[in-house]
Every structure is written in C-alpha cells, then in structure tokens.
Amino acid sequence: MPAAFDMPLLLLAGRLLLGGAFLVAGLRNLGNIPFLTGVIAGRGMPLPRAALLAGIVMQTVAGALLIAGFWTDIALVGLVAFLFAATLLFHNFWDHQGIDRVNRINGVISNAALTGGIFIILAAGSGG
C-alpha cells in the first residue's frame, strides 16, 4: 500500500462507516417493531417478535462493537449471520413482481456486498 494512505485512519473510518450503518439501522428498526414483526410472521418464522428483537440486538451491539474496536472479529461474524437471516426474511424477491421485486433484489445485492466486504476484512486480519 502506498505511504500516502494512513492505515490506522482508514481502519477507523471503515469501522465508523460499517459499524455505524448497522447501528443506525438497528436503532431505526426499533421504531418499526410492529410492522417488521408482521413481515417476519408472514414469512412463517416462529416467535417473530423475539426473532426481530434478537436481530435488532445483534445489529446494534455488533455495530457498536465494531465502531468501538472491541471484539471486532466476533462482531463481524455476527453481522454476517444477521445479514444472512435478514436477506432470507426480508428480501424474498422470488415472491414479488415489478418494482417491489427490483427493490428486494437490490437488498440482496447490497447485503451480499456488505458480506463480501466483511469477508475481506476478516481475511486481511485487520478486523481487530
């Protein structure tokens, strides 16, 4: 890597951006619990509210850990598990048509890209 890149600064910025995205999304989901519980229930998940709350906890705690730089590898693995479950539950494009299908496909692509980025961080050994 060229000397022009400040690696510790890039790592901090990456942790803030990636962890912050999950933290903010989790906090935002707290305001949508009734709606999101209904979506999960509609997909046949047992105990949909408990599953949703577990997902929100995973999202927010792992995001906060990543930002803080604590247990980042564990946080990153937790975020991969979260992304896998969220993709299956909320981005079921195969059940939709039109713009709703396109939006759900975009969600799958976004979650796949996030997962790929997390895998790169873990493989590089700079997660923490």
Look up the pTM and report it: 0.86
Tell me if 100 is assigned to some domain. yes
Please report the sign of the dihedral spanned by the C-alpha atoms of residue 78, residue 84, residue 87, residue 88: negative
Its domain, for residue 104, covers 7-124
**CA 85 to CA 33: how far, in whole Å?**
17
Residue 63 has pLDDT above 60, yes or no: yes
If residue 88 lies in a helix (H) or strand (E), which one and from where to where?
helix 72-90
| pLDDT single digits (tens) 25-45 | 999 999 999 999 999 999 888
Tell me if 85 is assigned to some domain. yes
> How buried is residue 6: exposed, middle or buried, by Cβ count under 10 Å (0-12/13-18/19+)?
exposed
What is the count of structural domains for the chain?
1
Tell me if 35 is assigned to some domain. yes
Tell me if 14 is assigned to some domain. yes
Tell me if 1 is assigned to some domain. no
Tell me if 2 is assigned to some domain. no
Mean pLDDT, range 79-85, rounded to an integer? 95
